[in-house]
Structure 1
């Protein structure tokens, strides 16, 4: 009975953290950051320099991924920064597929591809997340690494949504959408951490995450 009470308490804490005041403010801050940094990237000095434009754009992808995951976990311990850094890396590393498709390290070739590379297909995100979840279950890593499929999901989705304001979303085999309205991109990016957290709560993952990231339950 005590175990059941603890479990319910953990779930309640997990749900409250998902929509806490701090997380909502952080999400609004994320949306504001996206707006400001996208305006800064329109400066002619950045747009006229391929390397500066590519590096700054990739860096923003990384920061958005880090910020999104920080909202999910709450940044309670120093070790949490390792996860946040990993989320930023996952959000940025997608762009490597430009060079793979180009078959060269030439930035100009990577920026002028005849088609989009495979990691920019949004259908890949749930496929990779589910595959990762299956592999973790196979190797009995589902508790200690339970966050990894969700981290990949939120990091890659934030990248795709941001790219969507220019190119739309590529949902193979159905084709691609029209470019996303800017307001929709900002709204999705700001709400994505909460949506991800809520689904994690429904699946029980959020309970494990809450314990892992420092919520203590007294029974």
Structure 2
């Protein structure tokens, strides 16, 4: 098992000056990007609005995962791109629920689509972890449940400033204050890192990302 010294060293890396500055940058990006999306030129064009909104989801997902792992190798960019894809992929359920590839139909649904239910996140993450453990994929793809958690959670939190959080079967919350969205989003990578370090996991401590801890 990892020693307390090794765990402390790994944890300090997640709270480095570089990591904290990256989180501040993420919070600034969220603030600026969502303000820019309110410009009439974007709001009056359905396609431009949808693509811009989805792109911001993608960038937040990528930025968040980059904070978690740091960028030490070229191969890390593959994970970061995957995190962005997962963060933006959720919106495909708009088209699935509408049963059409029409953007107008996807944006005028009678109810929120299923991937926008926040209860789905822990359900899918835990199912994925158990599945990976069963098929012995926990070493090669150990990062995936955590990446999915961050990518999907950041998407839901951002959507929450407009629609609130939909928590099945309890209903939905009121819209989140913008300042709370920014704080949660910029803090989420560090929260995830803390959980990974102190729940017996070793994902973030692998030599893949420059932190080697034997287990």
TM normalised by structure 1 equals 0.93
- What corresponds to 1:109 in structure 2? 105
Displacement of 1:209:
3.6
- CA apart distance, 1:191: 0.3
Alignment partner for residue 124 of structure 2, among 109, 124, 128? 128
Could you tell me how far 1:79 is from its partner in structure 2? 0.4
Q: Supply the distance in 1 between the matched residues of 2:92 and 2:13 (Cα, whole angstroms).
A: 34
Q: Given the alignment of the two structures, is residue 213 of structure 1 paired with residue 209 of structure 2, yes or no?
A: yes
Distance 1:205 1:25 in 2: 26
Q: Check whether the contact 1:77–1:214 (CA below 8 A) recurs between aligned residues.
A: no
Show the 5 A alignment for 1:1-219: 7-206=3-202, 208-215=204-211
Residue 216 of structure 1 and its aligned partner are, at CA, apart by 5.5
Aligned residues of 1:10 and 1:211 also touching (Cα < 8 A):
no
Structure 1: 4+ residue segments shifted above 4 A = none
Give unmatched runs, 5+ long, in structure 2: none
1:189 deviation in Å?
Answer: 0.2
**Post-superposition offset of 1:212:** 1.8
Instruction: Kindly report the root-mean-square deviation, in angstroms, between the aligned alpha carbons of the 2 structures.
Output: 1.4
**Secondary structure, counterpart of 1:205 in structure 2:** coil
Deviation per CA, 1:126-164, whole angstroms, max 9, x where unpaired? Answer: 000000000100111112211110000000000000000
Confirm or deny: 8 A CA contact 2:37 2:49 kept in the other structure: yes
The two structures have a TM-score, normalised by structure 2, of 0.95
1:66–1:85 Cα contact (<8 Å) kept: yes
Equivalent-residue separation in structure 2 for 1:215 and 1:149 (angstroms): 19
Q: What is the SS of the residue equivalent to 2:167?
A: coil
Shift of 1:10: 3.1
Contiguous gaps of at least 5 residues in structure 1: none
Deviations 1:160-210 (A, max 9, x none): 000000000000000000000000000000000000000000123356544
Contact 1:13 1:210 survives alignment (8 Å): no
CA contact (8 A) 2:15 2:190 kept: yes
Aligned residues: 213
